[in-house]
Copies of this chain bind each other. A is one copy, B any other.
């Protein structure tokens, strides 16, 4: 079954989880490596990954004792489509996009004390 919009938007509502998604843009990662830049416990990150997984935003594949996390960008499709209904077609402003991604990459909760 496809995850509900509830689940997808709720998953996206947490800055730690969005930061994880941004990290996974680069490459697939093991759970431990995902957790590394954050100040919270591995167990907490593991929970966040479960939430992202249930939302369909990532997939996790266990190879050996390592569980690899992979971005599943298609899951954003439903949410994206929902948002299009509010006339956001012209939202694809690359300038804004770049500024935004930049703040998201420089700002995020990893080491946010």
Contacts and interface: CB of A to CB of B under 8 A. Distances in A.
A40 interface: no
Interface of A, secondary structure class, is helix
Contacts of A18: 5, 82
A86 B104 CA distance: 13
Contact of A73 (B22, B73, B87): B87
Given A79-B83, A81-B91, 17 more contacts: A5-B13, A5-B15, A22-B85, A73-B86, A73-B88, A76-B86, A76-B91, A78-B100, A80-B80, A80-B84, A80-B88, A81-B92, A81-B97, A82-B101, A83-B83, A85-B97, A85-B101
Interface of A: 5-6, 9-10, 12-15, 18, 21-22, 25, 71, 73, 76-89, 91-93, 96-97, 100-101, 104
